[in-house]
Structure 1
Amino acid sequence: MEIRGPLLLPARREEIEFETIDGLTLVGELALPPEREPVATLVTLHPLPTAGGFMDSHILRKAAGRLPALADLAVLRFNTRGTTSSRGTSDGAFDGGLAEAFDVAAALDFVRERALPRPWLVGWSFGTELALKYGRDHDIEGAVLLSPPLHRASDEEVAAWAGDARRLIVLVPEFDDYLRPDAAIRRFASVPEAVLIPVEGGKHLWVGENQTRRVLTEIVAAINPDALPLPNEWNGPVVED
């Protein structure tokens, strides 16, 4: 069976909740490899909730649906404050990326409490702003940025990653709505260690199976390259999402 679209491969899936330091309950899901222990952990940060972003935004949902089985990765998805998905609604209200600092901290506290290995932030669009602004405050191995718009993260916050031992992987679509490769090269020039990957034909929303596979491949290449190449076929049980 071809792996594409909303197909869910086997995983140990758990509905989770965790509390922020300002007293909010955030809802999410943790997906673990079906049999083995994870080799690393993706803490995903979704796109802008006021523009329809949530923990089920398709790249994040497909990462959780495929990568536990294909790459032995744990995938944590959650709704930031005030955001709703089929999993439920997180307490609070959208704060434009400010109080969301507490949401990032709560997610990483959960990872630490569960002793999940090698946490990486994986942000998409608005989620990249949270990763850039707050990721350095936490014990992470690195961050993968998908379609960073650099609307809320300042030049100073980007430059603060210079010289940091934690890896910064930046996927920039050729036809992005906000930040295209040439501009991204200039905006990330202050972080010479950053790995900037222009994606030919890519768009901000990464629509289509080819773009989905490219994004998931780049995530795995950064975090667990031994799992490459990711297969396009699956012969075991699946769940239609």
Structure 2
Amino acid sequence: MAEIRASTVLPARRTDIELQTADGLKLVGELAVPEDRPPVATLVCLHPLPTAEGMMDSHVLRKASYRLPALAGLAVLRFNTRGTSSDRGTSEGEFGEGEAERYDVAAALEWAEYHDLPRTWLLGWSFGTELALRWGRDPLVEGAILLSPPLHRATDADLDAWAEFGRPLVALVPERDDYLRPPEARERFKRVTQAEVVGVDGAKHLWVGEPYVRIVLNEIVKHVAPEAYPLPTEVL
């Protein structure tokens, strides 16, 4: 047995993809699926703020794609929103302050639907949580998991709309977050009766450190693929 470490990359089928937005842009991305079986569910990843170095390779999203296809049977779709660059390349367009990105979210969901990916969940991190709350209320979406939600661009009206949408909402809130900490988060998310707020002791906004990454990935799996929970810490 070998311990799963921060740099561990487990087997999966990984394919470069391109998304086409309704306003005419091409976005670059990657789909990772289990190597030897159909996926049981799908994560559409929405990355942190691109003007603060957020991208599809932001470490928690990258580690989800490295581990969860093999460990939990998940499909993991990551992409760069408009104007965002990573090793995969640069998506066309310019940063849209979270407004024009509505087309990016829609393009990712359309791609998932067209390619028959099952049981789509949104996984948003920081800025990506704002995109999920504002533009992710699509019939295809089974629920959303929010990492470090700042609730800055997303307003109480967006929370009320998600409450009406009725799909599960899980917010993982670091104890030492720079923007929104667990007590305030619990108060803000009271508007969403189906929301679950999980405070994570010791964690910070960027989830640096393997122990925090494991907490995040386990919470994702607990809700999206509970049969695979808890995740192993070692592999053959």
The TM-score by the shorter chain falls in which range? over 0.9
Which blocks of at least 5 consecutive residues in structure 1 are unaligned?
Answer: 236-241
Is the contact between residue 108 and residue 138 of structure 1 (CA under 8 Å) also seen in structure 2?
no
Give how far 1:44 is off. Answer: 0.2
Aligned length: 235
Match of 1:98?
A: 99
Is the contact between residue 167 and residue 194 of structure 2 (CA under 8 Å) also seen in structure 1?
no
Task: State how 1:25-40 maps to structure 2 within 5 Å.
Answer: 25-40=26-41
2:58 matches 1:57? yes
State TM-score, norm by structure 1: 0.96
Distance 1:182 1:192 in 2: 16
Match of 1:132?
A: 133
SS in 2 for 1:184: helix
Distance 1:185 1:55 in 2: 28
2:64 matches 1:69? no
Amino acid paired to 1:90: S
Amino acid paired to 2:118: P
Match of 2:187?
A: 186
1:33-55 C-alpha deviation (Å, 9 max, x unpaired): 01010000000000000000000
Match of 2:166?
A: 165
1:5-54 C-alpha deviation (Å, 9 max, x unpaired): 12110000000001000000000000000101000000000000000000
2:143 matches 1:146? no
Which blocks of at least 5 consecutive residues in structure 2 are unaligned?
Answer: none
Identity %: 63
Amino acid paired to 2:142: E
1:175-196 C-alpha deviation (Å, 9 max, x unpaired): 1000000110111111121011
Is the contact between residue 105 and residue 138 of structure 1 (CA under 8 Å) also seen in structure 2?
no
State TM-score, norm by structure 2: 0.98
Of the structure 1 ranges 65-74 and 150-159, higher mean CA displacement relative to structure 2 is found in 150-159
Is the contact between residue 163 and residue 193 of structure 1 (CA under 8 Å) also seen in structure 2?
no
Match of 1:111?
A: 112
Match of 1:42?
A: 43
The 4+ residue runs of structure 1 with deviation greater than 6 A are none
Match of 1:202?
A: 203
Amino acid paired to 2:197: L
Give how far 1:137 is off. Answer: 3.3
Is the contact between residue 113 and residue 140 of structure 2 (CA under 8 Å) also seen in structure 1?
no
